[in-house]
Chains A and B, each alone.
Chain A
């Protein structure tokens, strides 16, 4: 069983021990490898026949334009939603968003909340908060339901329980709900559905996330596969949608390419089973739908990212999870190792802004900068460049481009800085460099066979008998002596 206890998730700083534990867990590694291989394959298939580069360019452009007009679009969204009868609330951080939601619940005397999938609500730790205030919050997305039942947090933003295989889920459902043990996924799903159906009927409030908020029409779009999103937003008498302020787009036309990119990038689907467009509460002549609809717009560090010309690209994210699916590090250690709401590459460039670089300083280094994440990102977020940017922020490594991300310079150590100063000193002095390297190769018999962490699992490479500088110099002398065309010498 893959049990990651609550205590392991905090603080984020203990990335290394958690990663080491995960690497030793063959079951966990197998679960992730299989799942990620499957998702990568599905994505490739879904984009077959498409000009993916053109589509990504389009998606990136939509997101860039939306962000460029973000303040205006948010005001337009608020105005349209209000006209449509949806109440809009603004929250500066997660705590404020939690309070707003609790107040709505208290006002309605609501005791039972059913939830659709929402990563922002994970960011806010909404479930804990509501429970502390006597309100039951039950997750209705199957993956979230499993994770909640196990007392865990999601290990992937699209597939929260991807770290568990069927056997583990069967065992969990058996222990918690008395479901018969089974390898039949359909049986297990049907059983969970049965349990959840009752809860939908009893719920006083449904809480959901939002994939796209369309400013022009005041439409909240929700992408899902299980129908739980539609149930959450239509069965209870009150629906509260909660989302980050960056999720707004100008028009329905602009939303369309993002939807095409999202479903294909996330799960390899041309379209999800359900696509909900919510524009108003139940009207007098309508038979169903909630009588009240609220939208809570959460900042929680986003406007800080928005101020920076480079970091703003982080906010383009449409939360497809493709960067995780293609990340060789995420695939090896899984989502829980990161210890953050958003794991993987996007988490490593987003979480430092939500929690501060001091708390999250290992995350930007937990990448080989292979670039797979940037290559598949449907909105072309330059994730590797942003990882490097955060590395330099954390060591305060650039006096020319000074800036102030929260926790800036917190990883700078005198020892490491000294090493890089020494490296600079040698490499900006070519004569000295040539001499030092020539000496090193001459004395190569003295080369230690071990080189720290490197040689724990690898043979240390042997220094050559002569450097390339020397070899080229010798060739130039020979060619000069035989008066052949000069080659390999200095200009």
Chain B
């Protein structure tokens, strides 16, 4: 759905890091992994301590006044003209695609446009701006990839995950059936329509298991929470983690990720 073809900038000296609220309290390892991967590329990472949430939960629930207030509190955190990287297609999509709509007719419209124009989904940034080199130091393993719907369709980065994983020589990637189908998370959708959401995630977990993947990696913590949570609840032989945690483990030969 991202219509405009984006021109990738030259690798900058410095970036802003927007961590997202799910990473903040549930999966901070994914955030730290992202920061370490950027630093490894010689990029200085600025993490504004006053960041909270992009506002998406209220936005997709229809509470745009509340979403705008919270989003407005983020707009002043990126005064320098550096890219803003986000370890999530969903929050990235909110900031890149929906901020301009949300602040249309509002006093912060210009600032929102400036922030939106500098937003990059982090794996896309690592691959296409940093041209990251990944030396795989890990043991041979098999994973499957779940690209979130927002990474795929709002940020248009569906091709990034496979190309990053391809760079890891000891990792074999298996493809599950219907990789482009939603896992059923959808934010408040999972709570408003729990039965439909459960039917969707049941099929997703089954697809991974059928493909013979003991582990999946994903670009978004919402999907991670949903798919891994269901696999655990139904005792399926499947674990998952954020793709950034996985990449960091492979290149640093550590195993400190928050695999769930």
Contacts and interface: CB of A to CB of B under 8 A. Distances in A.
Nearest to A453: B194
Nearest to A331: B181
Contacts of A468: 19, 23-25, 28, 31-32, 47
Nearest to B68: A400
Contact of A424 (B49, B58, B202): B58
A414 interface: no
**Interface bracket on A:** 35 or more
A452 interface: yes
Given A400-B106, A401-B104, A370 B153 contact: yes
A421 B184 CA distance: 26
Interface string B37-75: 001000011111111110101111111111011101100
Contacts of A397: 58, 61-66
A366 B190 CA distance: 10
A329 B196 contact: yes
Contacts of A23: 195-196, 199
A7 B169 CA distance: 60
Nearest to A432: B52
B99 interface: no
B231 to A, nearest CB: 9
B182 interface: yes
A490 B57 contact: no
Contacts, number: 235
A430 B52 contact: yes
B58 A469 contact: no
B212 interface: no
Interface string B226-238: 1011101110000
A420 B48 CA distance: 24
B133 interface: no
A458 B32 contact: no
Given A328-B200, A388-B59, A464-B27, A458 B65 contact: no
A458 B233 contact: yes
B175 to A, nearest CB: 16
Interface string A320-362: 0000000011001100000000000000000000000000000
A284 to B, nearest CB: 53
Interface in A367-411: 367-372, 374-375, 382, 384-385, 388, 391-395, 397-401
B163 interface: no
Interface in B182-216: 182, 184-202
B153 A461 contact: no
A450 to B, nearest CB: 11
B130 interface: no
Interface residues of B, number: 84
Contacts of B149: 368-372
Nearest to A40: B178
Contact of B52 (A421, A427, A472): A427
B80 interface: yes
Contact of B70 (A367, A398, A427): A427
A440 interface: yes
Interface string A115-157: 0000000000000000000000000000000000000000000
Interface in A418-438: 420-421, 423-424, 426-428, 430-431, 433-434, 437
Given A371-B153, A428-B70, A471-B32, A400 B25 contact: no
A430 B218 CA distance: 28
A332 B65 contact: no
B44 A487 contact: yes
B35 interface: yes
B194 to A, nearest CB: 4
Nearest to A467: B24
Contact of A392 (B62, B199, B233): B62
Contact of B49 (A16, A20, A365, A473): A473
30 contacts: A19-B195, A329-B193, A365-B193, A366-B193, A368-B200, A370-B182, A371-B1, A372-B182, A374-B1, A391-B61, A397-B63, A397-B64, A398-B65, A400-B68, A401-B64, A420-B58, A421-B66, A424-B58, A433-B52, A440-B25, A454-B190, A457-B194, A457-B201, A459-B228, A459-B232, A463-B25, A464-B26, A464-B28, A468-B24, A469-B19
Interface of A: 16, 19-20, 23, 328-329, 332-333, 365-372, 374-375, 382, 384-385, 388, 391-395, 397-401, 417, 420-421, 423-424, 426-428, 430-431, 433-434, 437, 440-441, 452-464, 466-473, 475, 485-491
